[in-house]
Amino acid sequence: MNQKKFSSPLIAAAFLMATSAIGPGFLTQTAVFTNKLVASFGFVILISVLLDIGAQLNIWRVICVSGKRAQDLANEVVPGAGHVLTLLVVIGGLAFNCGNLAGAGLGLNVLTGIDTKIGAIISAAIAIIIFITKDSLKWMDLFAKGLGIVMILLTIYVVVEAKPPYAQALQYSFVPEKIDFLAIITLVGGTVGGYISFAGAHRLMDAGMTGTNHIESVSKSAVSAIVLASVMRVLLFLAALGVVAKGISLNQTNPAADVFQQAAGNVGYKIFGIVMWSAAITSVVGAAYTSVSFLKSMHPLFREKESTVLSSFVIISLAVFVAIGQPVKVLVAVGALNGFILPVALTLIIIASTNKKIIGEYKHPAWLRLFGWMVIGATLLLSVKTILW
């Protein structure tokens, strides 16, 4: 029974979304903000988790009740909007996979000493093998679940070694010394921004989990996905807090690696290599899968040749990374563009939630819509700030 539950599409969707969120940027972000806010970063995590759940529940419930992918819903609300959304997701997914492959290469470099680009090529090959294997969805699910559990367990070890002030972390999570609104918005964007929030919902659609009879289980899966990502965020926060609470300022060149090394020495540094590779490679798979799931509505060829399209998606990102290194300026520019995906898509989905032609007799909760509008405002603010910056 437990084995059956663990292998269910609901668990698979939760892990796919969570591991898509936990990428190289997620690790760095958490270390940087803990270095800046110390124990008060716990409050930032708490507020961002509530907003993440609001965004995720809106998206997953409306997509699964309607039985339509995000781009198809968007097209029904505003003709052509789904095509624009698809373009944003695909461009963002390609660009961020350059960064994800860079992170995967860095992880293997830490573990074995091999060149980062060689590490990225090996990682890309592993992702492609998953996509071209028979029953690729099953292998993708196992990959996300397996590496997700590995990341959590290894980070728990580092937390224990770091000896963070748990009582202080708990206290300031509810009564912070300082509140950083930009940090809250950044965390929301990093957890459910861009393509990430659609990864699990589209995975559930592929498993046929649509209609109002699945609404309760889909909601549990959506919340579970945020909880999984947040568990990793909290563990990374505690590990970093254990270091900075001792008065050690993290190395700004690679703050996440410094957390692991300062907390657990050379063993910690090697663990960072495993965690970084796991976070990056699962994000490579998640970004490719979700981006191609948006392309499926554009032409039947994308459905019929899905494994080839997925492999091509990874190869294009790899070619860009190997040819010119990590394209930082491109990533920053697309990052700003990527930030508009969630507010635009969420606005269209909330509008769709009031349209009976799309959702039938299903009544979408008013409190969820309110949460949705709050997330839209927060992520739009971050996107505008990023562009003006």
Q: What is the mean pLDDT of each run of 10 residues along the chain (389 residues)?
A: 60 94 91 95 94 93 94 94 92 88 94 95 97 91 95 97 97 94 84 87 91 93 95 97 95 92 97 97 95 91 92 95 69 61 90 92 92 87 70
d(CA 109, CA 116): 6
Burial of 232 (0-12, 13-18, 19+ CB in 10 A): buried
Element (H, E) at 7: none
Contacts of 336 (CB under 8 A, 6+ apart): 383, 386, 387
Q: How far apart are CA 24 and CA 11, in angstroms?
A: 23
If you search the block for the tokens 């990225």, which residue do you land on? Answer: 120
Q: Is 178 helix (H, G, I), strand (E, B) or coil?
A: coil
CATH topology (fold) of 8-388: Amino acid/polyamine transporter I (1.20.1740)
The pLDDT of residue 330 is 55
Specify the pLDDT at position 125: 98
Calpha distance 135→246 (Å, rounded):
49
Q: pTM for the whole thing?
A: 0.91
175 to 49, 172, 330, 345: CA distances (angstroms): 16, 5, 39, 33
Domain ranges of the chain: 8-388
Determine the pLDDT at residue 2. 47
Q: Are 226 and 53 in contact (CB under 8 A)?
A: yes
| pLDDT at residue 111, rounded to an integer | 96
The dihedral sign for the CA sequence 147, 153, 158, 162: positive
**Helix segments in 68-211, DSSP class H:** 70-77, 81-112, 116-132, 136-162, 166-174, 181-192, 196-206
Going by C-alpha positions, the residue among 289, 290, 260 that lies closest to residue 194 is 290
Residue 308: per-residue pLDDT: 95
